[in-house]
Structure 1
Amino acid sequence: MDEASLRADMIEGLEHQIGEPIEPPVLTALQRVPRDPFVDDAPRGGAADGDDPHSLSLATVVRLVTALDVEEGDSVLVVGAGVGYSVAMLAEIAGARHVHAVDIDRSAVVAARSNLDAAGYGAVLVDRADGADGLPAYAPYDRILLEAAVVEPPRALREQLAPGGRIVYPRGAGVQTVAAIEPSSARGPDADDAPAPGADANAPPSTGDAEDDPAPAGFETVETHGPARLQPMLVDGEQPGTERNRTRREDAERAERGRRRRHGWEQDWIDWDDRL
């Protein structure tokens, strides 16, 4: 079977899995972005979320990118570059020079840069940074995508969003819901109450200050896409190869500082006869 047929079968299977047709810009990106550079770098091929923190299932990628609602020329920040596949899809839609990505794991940054370059999206900026801090040097962003589960997006990311922009993130712990939020003022009081295309019919109403809307203060949920299971967002010091237990990590750091500290008997020799 040729590549075109395989890709068509993949897309048909994805539409069946997510239960709705794929939006045209996302569909075009799926058809154009090669999979090989990214799948080869994913130990499990991205078959299931949660197995590999750097690789997402195709269904989750489609849900995230669809909810982000990117247009050509939008400035985009991706928190959690992973293997770079979803970053490449966004680069295909918005333009590679408009897309920025960060990851706390240095090895993931190296892999994403290599994969994106091999796929033809080398103009995307991928940097090693704590995702909770965003990438303020290139802010503001029209769209911000978190590829890690959080209860709500960190304040720094919310502050780096352009007026009228949108943040998409997997909301919750365990099995999450892909949520899209926008500043409450972005939708005026006369905004159409009909759900946006592709939105979950069971999503909470976009009422901004509604008590049942789990969006952070000043934001409202405008779309939800269902379920995902992503790894939680890491903070600096929790990347692979680093002790994740904070107490043990800090104890080890204090012990190392103590080992390096100079004690009285280690001070340089002082000739007291010359000093007196």
Structure 2
Amino acid sequence: MDPAVLRDDMVDGLESPPREVIESEAVAEAMRAVPRRLFLPDDRNAYADSDHEVRGSRILAPSTVARLLEALALEPDDDVLVVGVGVGYTAAVCAEIVGETNAHAVDIARPLVFDARENLERAGYGGVLVDCRDGANGLPEYAPFDRILLEAAVAESPRALREQLSPSGRLVYPRLRDARGQRLEVQTAAGERSPRGIVEFDPLLVAGEQTGAVERNRTAREDREFAARRAESRRGWEQEWIEWDAGSRRSNWPSR
């Protein structure tokens, strides 16, 4: 079947019950225009509303992408930053709305950055800037941004991203809510927040946890952090380096 027809069917399904996640014409037209199949290793299910996995990274289902874009509320010529570019599909849809040179993206995983650049070039969006960065630090060289999309869950929005917003900008991100899961949240540059429903995203990674890194185990990092916290909380006899003498505490560490 003609890929354009499949894209139309996909968008029609996202506009209609039971999903009804697309409300704006801009998002609908952009998703009809971007060839999603060029961003997937297997294009047989490219227009099905399902997630995929590439290089250990989750490619969001079209309905999830639509929800993110509706929350972003992009306008033509907005400067937008996508944190967590993945294979580049979301960045391409953003570029379709705001223009290629106004779309920027970063990812901490270098293999994904290379894939995203190739995919965007092949799909006709080679003007999108994609760089390998720690997502929590954003892309300060190109700030401020009218819109920032963080495609990874965090307990609190990274300060650097908030500081890179324009005065009228907005940041869209999945916020962790402890045992209650995650909630999509929109935060303005002024700090105002508004919820946009329940979501489920992978956590924001730090150096050493990205695809292709020597160490990718979040549990190992968390174990080290908890061990450091326990060590700092020890007192008295638990500290092997403390010597009790005449009721006073003296360190055996050499003086500096």
TM-score by length of 1: 0.71
Aligned length: 215
What is residue 239 of structure 1 aligned with on the other side?
Answer: 210
Task: Give the deviation of 1:227 after TM superposition.
Answer: 2.8
Alignment counterpart, residue 138 of structure 2, candidates 126, 134, 140: 134
Q: Summarize deviations over 1:166-200 as a string: whole Å, max 9, x none.
A: 0001122674222111133xxxxxxxxxxxxxxxx
Alignment counterpart, residue 196 of structure 2, candidates 210, 225, 246: 225
Task: Give the deviation of 1:68 after TM superposition.
Answer: 0.5
Matched residue SS, 1:227: strand
What is residue 110 of structure 2 aligned with on the other side?
Answer: 106
Q: Using the alignment, how far apart are the partners of 1:162 and 1:78 within structure 2?
A: 15
Aligned residues: CA RMSD: 2.6
Gaps of 5+ in 1: 185-218, 251-276
Matched residue SS, 1:18: coil
Preserved contact between residue 156 and residue 175 of structure 2 (Cα < 8 Å): yes
Q: Using the alignment, how far apart are the partners of 1:154 and 1:2 within structure 2?
A: 42
AA partner of residue 188 (structure 2): E
What is residue 37 of structure 1 aligned with on the other side?
Answer: 38
Q: Using the alignment, how far apart are the partners of 1:126 and 1:103 within structure 2?
A: 8
Matched residue SS, 1:116: helix
| CA 100–20 in structure 1, closer or farther in 2 if over 3 Å, else same | closer
| CA 139–37 in structure 1, closer or farther in 2 if over 3 Å, else same | same
Q: Using the alignment, how far apart are the partners of 2:45 and 2:9 within structure 1?
A: 20
Task: Give the deviation of 1:226 after TM superposition.
Answer: 2.6
Question: Are 2:7 and 1:2 aligned?
Answer: no
Q: Using the alignment, how far apart are the partners of 2:224 and 2:205 within structure 1?
A: 15
Preserved contact between residue 50 and residue 231 of structure 1 (Cα < 8 Å): no
Question: Are 2:161 and 1:157 aligned?
Answer: yes
**Identical residues among aligned pairs (%):** 49
Q: Summarize deviations over 1:95-141 as a string: whole Å, max 9, x none.
A: 01011100000010000000000000001100000001111111111
Alignment counterpart, residue 48 of structure 1, candidates 51, 62, 67: 51
Task: Give the deviation of 1:231 after TM superposition.
Answer: 0.4
Task: Give the deviation of 1:230 after TM superposition.
Answer: 0.9
Q: Using the alignment, how far apart are the partners of 2:44 and 2:224 within structure 1?
A: 28
| CA 123–177 in structure 1, closer or farther in 2 if over 3 Å, else same | same
Gaps of 5+ in 2: 226-256
Where does structure 1 differ by over 4 angstroms across 4 or more consecutive aligned residues?
41-46, 49-52, 247-250
| CA 41–142 in structure 1, closer or farther in 2 if over 3 Å, else same | farther
Q: Which has the higher contact order (CA 8 A, sep 6+)?
A: 1
Q: Using the alignment, how far apart are the partners of 2:97 and 2:74 within structure 1?
A: 7
Q: Summarize deviations over 1:204-245 as a string: whole Å, max 9, x none.
A: xxxxxxxxxxxxxxx1124x3333211000011111243222
TM-score by length of 2: 0.76
Greater fraction of residues in strand? 2
Q: Using the alignment, how far apart are the partners of 2:222 and 2:20 within structure 1?
A: 45
Q: Summarize deviations over 1:246-266 as a string: whole Å, max 9, x none.
A: 28899xxxxxxxxxxxxxxxx
Question: Are 2:66 and 1:62 aligned?
Answer: yes
Bigger mean CA offset, 171-180 vs 57-66: 171-180
Task: Give the deviation of 1:146 after TM superposition.
Answer: 0.2
AA partner of residue 57 (structure 1): A
Preserved contact between residue 42 and residue 55 of structure 1 (Cα < 8 Å): no
Task: Give the deviation of 1:41 after TM superposition.
Answer: 6.8
